[in-house]
Chain A
Amino acid sequence: MKQRGNAKNPKQALHVRPSSQTDLSAWQIGERKSGPKTVDLKSTQKPEKEKQQSVSEQAGNNTEDYLEQALTYFERAKDHIPLRKNEVLQKHLATVETIALQRGLSPEGLDVLLNVALSGRLADTVNSRILKCLIPASIIAESSVVSAVSWLCVGNCSCSTQLLFLRWLIAMFDFIDHKEKLHALYGFFFCSLQDEKLCPYICHLLYLLTRKENVKPFRVRRLIDLQAKMGMQPHLQALLSLYKLLCPELVSITLPAKAKSYFKNSERLWKAAINTVRRRNQATSLTSQQLILDIGHPQSRKRKWNTQLILPACTMDTNKITRSKAIIHADILSHSESFPVEELQTFSQLLKNIHRLEFPSQMGSVLRNSLLLHYMNCVKDESIYLRLYYWMGQTLQEECTWYKIDNQQYEEEFKDFLDIVYKTECFLQEGFSSCEEFLYKSLPLWDGFCCRSQILRLVSWIPLSSFSEMKPRLCEPLAQLFFTSSLYFKCSVLESLKDLLQNWLNWHVMQLDIESDPKISPLNTTLSGLVNSVAELIHFVGWISTVALRLENNVTFLLYFILDFYETVCDVYLKYNLPLLVMPPPGVFYPALLSMDSVNLNQLCYIMYRYRTNLVAAKENELIKKTILQFKFSSQTYQEYNQYIMAMVGCLWTSSAFQKDIHPQGIRLDPEVLKKTRVQEVRNSFNIVHHPALMGYAILFLQQAWPEDKTLNFSLIKGRRWNWYLEYLYTQGLQGLKLFIESSINRVSQASQTKSDNVQIKV
């Protein structure tokens, strides 16, 4: 427990959150915009999340507790415990097994269990079950192994347990933290060779332990004797050939040069579990520098040798060794040795050695190493990007589960890989072009289902380029899937397009900063290109949103995502300093205005308020600066805004929606037609009291104000009470409505509210 807690801390500083669409512009906007609405929306979600988190943490704590209990049970077990009808033992054993196979065990846990398994206090079946689940989460302490070996001398445990222990020791050899004391036991292991059953495994263990000083004439003799007794055994041959390699003068016999395999595979029992634990630990600590389980040498678990899904290990550029021979004189000039990447563990190390750091031999390995990603961000070397580009492009193409049938069974791994790529993009705040090309190639063949969230997240990092190029490659295949897929898919697409827009805008803001440097040429053609592309993207989303709303009957959930997109759009001018404002199409505006849900209406009010703020600011800028601006909003934008605002005020405030709406696709209706509907008080039906999205509030308001009146007389809300009602609405969290009413409605006097008018922006 303690260890886990410690391990988390250094991580947090570097950790990239999965939802990390880092808002680069937030710091800029902080001063200009208060944005109460967004804050409000988010704050309602927060406690929910925290609750969930604490629940999952609790669950984690519980399992930890069970494990602790089980371990204390085993630790205290003194005498022989029978297995049969011992429910307590069964329960604890099951706990240990499940946790060990999922997460692995701490060094302390391993110590306790090793001791109990070899002490002979438990039945053989229990011992073997324990041994089979001894999966280390990190390392195995050498002392545990030594004390376990000492149990072998006592002779309490059966032969089969000893054998299983040896196999375990061989399989876990690389996880043992130190091996000095184990080496001291060389003589003991060598003596055990006489046991015929243990002999193959003892040979294997000795093979792993043998050093030159262990090769002694008496040992060679003993091995040759054994070979004479048992015949040509591959395990004996292996040990002999190693002895011969180390001390050729001591071993004079000739050994056959080739053998297919010397040792039986001891790892098999634990391999799958080790891999599971390793993958789990890798996933939880993507950027962690602590090598939880040896990720340096991923075992090949796949069918192809050139499969690229296994991220290459971070190793020093070996090619460099050969190269440096040729250019040794160049090294003399720089007289600094390079710093091996394997040793790079902390951020301070990175800072100290940044001048003599080199990238690993395979660039793909940087994806797992946040320090190297930091370094990559500082280095302006084209070749590192190109190496990454080739590697990633090939990996994506070769491992993609939907253009190679053979890959289908590896979907989970491909998902993990896409996740890593996405996180790296968030970390670097830039998209990879190999990823972009992969999307262009694979989207037309995609079923919209496989790796959905991963693919859609990658879409949000498509680098900004001309939209004419993007349209056939991205928009067309995406639109096809969009129209034919579920509501949830539609919302996901809209969300990733919103992220895409934000990423482009953030990039633009950063670009402005760079270009304020006078050395770099001022922006000219680029800005028009950018404006065009962003506008096209917004129009595209407007179009698919209109169609989607019609297909899904204006469902609130979808409308929420659409309006969320427009929350970014309406602030492009002020928040991102881009001279562009695009109004939502009527197919989005009217469903939101007439929505049944107050959330949507509130969002729309907030958006219209931000449009107004942006337009007013643009107008002021235009008036102040006498110089001809390269870009200014067309009168059409103002006109569109004014039409919408009239419709909105007519609807919500002056109860004249059906008369005053002048938008060609608006809700203006002939009085004759309205009369035919036979609805009473048609005029009022969409004002803030009668609007279907707000009527619930009106009812609650009435109930609170006149608890005795059961008739629900809406006409009571007028005059002073109209103001109270408004205040009531504001306290209910309708901040968007508040901002809208306070900014866009010019109330003549507080006493007589009947006469009020909307404010239009004059062109």
Chain B
Amino acid sequence: MGTPDSLGMTPLGRKTAETGINFTSTTRFSRGLTFIRTHTLFGQSPARRIIPQTSLLQENADPQKIAFLLRKQWTLYSVTPMYKFSYGNLKEYSRLLSAFVAAEKQKGLAVEVGNDLGIKVTLSALLGLKGTDQDQAAILVQIASRSQLPVENAEDRVVWSGWFCCVSGDDFLENVPEDFTCLSLFLANGAESYTTIVGTWFQKTFDCCFSRLTISPLNLAWMAAMWTGCEVDSHMAATELVFSVPCLPQTLDISYAIHPEDAKALWDTVQKTPGEVTQEEVNLFMDCLYSHFHRHFKIHLSATRLVKVSTSIASAHCDGTIKILHSKHLIGVLMLLTELAISQIQ
């Protein structure tokens, strides 16, 4: 946790200011890299975040594809910038990746490129998933398996999908040269063996690194607060927090469900400036919930570990999985996740 007053406020609260003597000519000693010296300390999160006002998707979004992203459990990864990735070559990449997946799947057997392999990989652009205009277009990767039986309605069955995106990663993008494509957040759904193959291919081809993106309890608390405060017009699911009690022979999970309207009412009393959330507000919100729980059950939740948060907007688990439920808040959720992914790779 950083000291609040030491951090400047940028759209995502990232600290960028450099202090001290200007070492203009140190470039050779740490060659070429002076421009990425932003030094966020490990595990530090900004003291305040802004809730995006224009959380709507851009007009060119394909509703079908967006719907495909919702209500699925996605495993989160952070990805370092990809070198020499080109949006113009998506078709070619699809072909190469298909061959690679087929080869990996049938390890030990010879594979003829171009032959029918029973597997088809498609890379396509996901339009409309942008926070700002600087953001690079999101990419959807799908692996479909052809049904073996020659049936008439032989439609390809999607067995695995994953997508890359970067929503409002401006601060980071500014510092990265042209040859690199920043799609820092990767979300995968499907068998892990496919994630492995696709990830390996991207790592080899674009010299990038994939790392699992786990979510700290602190950030889960942020999510709980930020998502509670969001307006939802239609059906509202209960706000549920899951805590894990360590140090027992078997770990004990405590599920704490709150009526969404109650949670919202509480949040409204906590939040001072609309459209903006601060660390103190998040702490206060959680403390209120803890003391309420303590009054009834005599258990100090602050001594346990928050492992899961689910609201009508989305649900997130500390292992690094997320399920987004509401298209209206898709961009907002992705923005926060992008920020976490970027802080992991910086």
Contact = CB atoms under 8 A, between A and B. Distances in A.
Interface of A: 207, 238, 241-242, 245-246, 257-258, 262-263, 305-306, 308, 312, 315, 318-319, 322-323, 325-326, 361-363, 382-383, 385-387, 389-391, 393-395, 397-398, 403, 430-433, 436-437, 440-442, 444-445, 463-469, 473, 507, 510-511, 514-515, 523, 525-526, 528-529, 532-533
Nearest to B205: A319
B28 interface: yes
Given A306-B199, A469-B20, A257 B148 contact: yes
Contacts of B92: 322, 325
Contact of B209 (A382, A394, A514): A394
B204 A431 contact: no
B268 to A, nearest CB: 37
Contacts, number: 159
B54 interface: no
A574 B31 CA distance: 27
Contact of A262 (B20, B28, B83, B109): B109
A441 B109 contact: no
Given A361-B204, A363-B207, A386 B84 contact: no
A466 B20 contact: yes
B89 A308 contact: no
Contacts of A326: 86, 88-89
B96 A322 contact: yes
A465 B345 contact: no
B58 interface: no
Interface stretch (B35-43, B218-226, B250-258): B35-43
B23 A464 contact: yes
A393 B345 contact: yes
The contact size tier of chain B is: 35 or more
Contact of A436 (B30, B80, B84, B88): B30
A669 B284 CA distance: 62
Nearest to A443: B42
A364 to B, nearest CB: 8
Given A466-B21, A466-B23, A385 B29 contact: no
Contact of B25 (A263, A318, A383, A511): A511
A110 B180 CA distance: 49
B290 interface: no
Contact of B36 (A241, A387, A433, A515): A433
B39 A463 contact: no
A318 B108 contact: no
Contacts of A469: 19-20, 39
A469 B86 CA distance: 38
Given A245-B112, A525-B21, A529-B23, 12 more contacts: A262-B109, A306-B200, A319-B206, A383-B180, A386-B36, A391-B207, A393-B345, A394-B345, A397-B344, A403-B42, A526-B26, A532-B21
B207 A387 contact: yes
Contact of A465 (B23, B41, B209): B23
Contacts of B344: 397
Contacts of B131: none
Nearest to B91: A322
A interface, by DSSP: helix, strand, loop or mixed? helix
A319 B22 contact: no
Interface string B103-139: 0000011101000001000000000000000000000
Contacts of B176: 386
A514 B28 contact: yes
A318 B200 contact: no
A258 to B, nearest CB: 8
Interface string B189-233: 000000110011001111111111000000000000000000000
B20 A305 contact: no
B23 A526 contact: yes
B23 A390 contact: no
Contacts of B206: 319
A390 B26 CA distance: 20
A207 B110 CA distance: 10
Contacts of B46: none
A440 B215 CA distance: 21
B223 to A, nearest CB: 22
A333 B36 CA distance: 35
B53 interface: no
B24 A241 contact: no
B108 A306 contact: no
B177 interface: yes
Contact of B211 (A306, A440, A442): A306
B29 to A, nearest CB: 5
A463 B32 CA distance: 12
Contacts of A305: 195-196, 199-200
Contacts of A528: 21
Given A305-B199, A323-B86, A466-B21, A394 B211 contact: yes
Given A390-B80, A394-B345, A306 B19 contact: no
B169 interface: no
